[in-house]
Structure 1
Amino acid sequence: MIEVIFNASFITSSCFSFLIFVFTMTMYRSNNKLKLFSAAFLIILASNAVNYIFLKDAFQIDIGLLSTSMFSLYMLIVAFYGQKNKNYKFLYYLAYVFTAANIVIALKYNFLFTFIKSDLIKWLVQIAALALVLFFIKTEGSKDIQFKRAIALLLLSKVFYSIEYLNQYLAVIGFCLEASGYVTCFSYFYNIVYSSFMDKVNEAEKLKNTVEKSFYYEVKKRTIEIEKSNEKLLELSKTDSLTKAYNKLAIMNIIEKLTTSKARQTFSILMFDIDKFKTINDTLGHVTGDMCIRTLVSIAQANIRSIDYLGRYGGDEFIIVLPTLSANDARIVAERFRSKVAETNNPRFTVSIGIATFPEDGKTVKELISAADIGLYRAKERGRNAVSHSMLF
């Protein structure tokens, strides 16, 4: 029965020592006491490995108790030295030194134990365990209390194993304490490492969200800039470079949309040009001619609504589209515009205006332009500086 318990103890200590050491060393990146504590379990792990591989026929309990003494001594050094000094690198090396020493002692078991009594090892275990337990009790208020209690359970279990008159009941108690200690110890390491790992995951997630958010806003910003640039280019493609009014293609498309609209709503167009514009260009120069055109556009824009459209048809010829206005309403707008142009000076110039209305004067763009052109021709025949319709006035 005792042999079964010792085998169970061997398996438990090996598995948990391996898990604690490997899990902490590989998953936990910070250099602090946690790694030092986990390094102590390498002593137990190495001792068990040597026992299993090389000392199957030897009395393995003594070697196990000796490794516990080395484990306890290392823990005491870490506990005392680590409080006052942050040179963790030295303590890492010390863990490997203790491990190597434990392996050498185990391999030289027959020679060494000729001079070292088994009772001495048991006393070493009990003294080391007692010293470590007393130290942990003294510092019970610290944040590592769960770990310290776990180590205390492990060492107390070894005290039970080292009792001279060991029976199966004491062995069972010792194993229960040992198993509880290893489970508690692994839980302590797992919680800290997992918590640290999750903190890094959350930090990475926040960083990812920040990058994605920045990327999203940057893409959105660039998209808006591109859209504005495209709109600007589209607007430029629709406007006349000299006057900034719609160009011929754009104003013709506007009329096309109105004529093909399902609403079939009435609208009128004004076609006008500067009277004797060729004479202005020939006598005063093309610079003055361009100035007259810009002045004409400025007056036109000031005398139409926000829903109306102004476009340059060609040369000094322009078209104004007046949605919802009949021929008579369009005549009022045209007369007001004509009189404002007649007030210009330096140079003084006038305009003639022809009116056409949808659908009375035409149902297509071509028909409306033709009707407005006839009205413009009639205004010229009437002596210029006039407003005319192809049939009404």
Structure 2
Amino acid sequence: MLSLSNVNQVQYLMILCFSFLIFVFNLTFHTGNHLTGLLGTLFFIPLYFCIASVTLLKTVNTEVVLILAEVSLLLFISFGLACRLNHKKVIILRLMAIIFPIGISMLLFSLEVEGYLLYSIGTPLGGALAFLNGILSFKRYKDRRLFRGFMILWMGFVFSLGREMQIFHILMLLFKLLAYLNFYMYFYRKAHQRWVVRVKKAEKDKAELEATVHGQVEKQLFMMQLSNEKLLNASKEDGLTKAYNKGAILEVLEHMIAKKQEPFTILMFDIDHFKKINDTYGHVTGDQCIKAVAQTAINHLRKVDYLGRYGGDEFIIILPGIPVEGAKVVAERLREQVSMACTPRITVSIGIAAYAKDGTTATELISKADQGLYRSKRRGRNAVSHGEI
């Protein structure tokens, strides 16, 4: 036979263990003002009564302590389910959940209470509160697990009324065990859902951070590449005219010779009487004339052509794929455009050299073009010259 004392001991251990698990679980995972956090805090009440029964309330019947624990828990839960929770109400309920069981235990310690009377009143009251909480949880929060837990607990209270029958004791313990399991699973599921949400948020934040970092890295790499290109261009660019500088234009010329790109020609030209322009108008005007000549050349050359400042007012133009006859046409057009485009009016003298007829090295080609340039000077300037022209 399962005696009443054994039933109380089993029930005591069940309420103690589940209250401890739920309360600690709540402290670990369910902080905040939401319903789950509040309900988990309220399980401090049965936990305290169970501990107090072996310390402070040794003289009080265990049956009385257990019914007080469950009725008090259900009473506070009903307040939590019935109220519209806010920060202030949650704090008040949590404080009351701590103060109330301590106050009741002190009262029981100082007074002699009739156990049978408390059990007779508390059992139907507990059943009514369990049923009410089940209705409130389903009506207000649509939570089937809480509803199922309260309804099973209500059935446990119903069977506990039949104290004289052994089968009712067993059914009462079984239903209460199932009820507390449902309560524990409720907190577990809620914690799992919150954990999944946090993990997904963390993964989203991580992905966004990685995308941001990746974007920043790509941006920095692009800026570094752009900066390197600018530095590279600056190292090859003449500061005044934005044409290739001497080193860069010679590098292009040597590259074309190495690839044996035939035919191609080069034009070497300078400004006629440039020293006189500097002496008459000043070096600022002289620089403006150099820039104007370079810009005129850029405007009338193809994209595949190369313009470089060889030094001072001397320029070199490389014309890929153009033989001497075509180079003569380009040079004459450039000479005419310069004489019309610049103020004060200036002219240029131009010499032509063709690869590989006039030379197979950069030095030979430049020397040959330079000879043509001075031939144009001797002819009276503002002219185009080549050995065959």
TM-score above 0.5: yes
1:392 paired to 2:385: no
Moved more, 283-292 or 79-88: 79-88
Unaligned runs of 5+ in 1: none
Cα displacement string for residues 144-182 of structure 1 (whole angstroms, at most 9, x for unaligned residues): 453143134234324434533141x22221122112111
Whether the 8 Å CA contact 2:243–2:307 is kept in 1: the answer is yes
Which of 271, 289, 300 is the equivalent residue of 2:286? 289
Distance in 2 (CA, whole Å) between partners of 1:82 and 1:285 is 89
Tell me if the contact between 1:129 and 1:152 (Cα under 8 Å) persists in the aligned partners.
no
Tell me by how many angstroms 1:322 deviates.
Answer: 1.0
Report deviation, 1:244: 2.1
Range that drifts further, 283-292 or 247-256: 283-292
Q: Which runs of 5+ in 2 are unaligned?
A: none
Compute the displacement of 1:61 (Å).
3.4
Distance 1:286 1:84 in 2: 82
Letter in 1 for 2:314: E
8 Å contact 2:127–2:157 — kept in the other structure? no
Determine helix, strand or coil for the equivalent of 1:347. coil
Aligned length: 385
Match of 1:196 in 2: 194
Aligned ranges 1:45-84 → 2 under 5 Å: 45-51=47-53, 60-80=62-82
For 1:150, give the aligned amino acid. Answer: G
Q: Deviations over 1:267-313 (max 9, x none)?
A: 22111112232233334433443333223223212221111111110
- Is the 1:69–1:128 Cα contact (8 Å) retained in structure 2? yes
Structure 1 residue aligned with 2:252, among 248, 251, 254? 254
Distance 1:55 1:155 in 2: 27
Q: Alignment partner for residue 346 of structure 2, among 349, 357, 372?
A: 349
Tell me how far apart the structure 2 counterparts of residues 345 and 51 of structure 1 sit (CA, whole Å): 109
Measured after TM superposition, the shift of residue 318 of structure 1 is 0.4
Q: CA RMSD in A?
A: 3.2
1 CA distance for matches of 2:232 and 2:288?
A: 26
Q: Are 1:319 and 2:316 counterparts?
A: yes
Of residues 93, 100, 103 in structure 1, which corresponds to 2:102? 100
1:392 aligned partner, one-letter code: E
Equivalent residue letter for 2:185: S
Structure 2 counterpart of 1:182, which letter?
Y
Instruction: Quote the Cα distance in structure 1 between the aligned partners of 2:99 and 2:46.
Output: 13
Q: Percent identity?
A: 37
1:111-260 matches, within 5 Å, as 112=111, 115-136=112-133, 138-139=135-136, 140-143=138-141, 144-161=143-160, 163-167=162-166, 169-260=167-258
Change (3 A) 1:355 1:34: same
Give the AA of the match of 2:388.
L
Give the C-alpha shift of residue 10 in structure 1: 3.6
Q: CA deviation at 1:39?
A: 2.5
Aligned pair in 2 of structure 1 residues 77, 384: CA closer, same or farther (>3 Å)? closer
Whether 1:378 aligns to 2:375 is: yes
- Counterpart Cα distance in 2 of 1:265 and 1:61: 111
Deviations 1:237-294 (A, max 9, x none): 3222222222112211221222233x64432211111223223333443344333322
Q: CA deviation at 1:317?
A: 0.7
Q: Paired residue for 1:29, among 27, 31, 42?
A: 31
Corresponding residue for 2:44? 42
Amino acid corresponding to residue 2 of structure 1 in structure 2: L
Whole-Å Cα distance in 2 between the matches of residues 218 and 141 of structure 1? 51
Which amino acid counterpart does residue 359 of structure 2 have in structure 1? G
Q: Equivalent residue for 2:91?
A: 89
Amino acid at match of 1:188: Y
CA distance in structure 2 between the aligned counterparts of 1:232 and 1:59, rounded to whole angstroms:
90
Contact 1:129–1:156 (CA under 8 A) maintained in structure 2: no
Q: Secondary structure at the match of 2:140?
A: coil
Residue 339 of structure 1 deviates from its aligned partner by 2.9
Q: Which amino acid aligns with 1:147?
A: L
How far, CA to CA, are the matches of 1:166 and 1:257 in structure 2?
A: 109
CA distance in 2 between partners of 1:105 and 1:298 (Å): 104
Displacement after TM superposition at 1:226 (Å): 4.4
CA–CA distance in structure 2, aligned partners of residues 141 and 93 of structure 1: 27
Q: TM-score, normalised by structure 2?
A: 0.85
Q: Distance in 2 between matches of 1:18 and 1:312?
A: 88
Kindly state the Cα deviation for residue 331 of structure 1 after the two structures are TM-superposed. Answer: 2.0
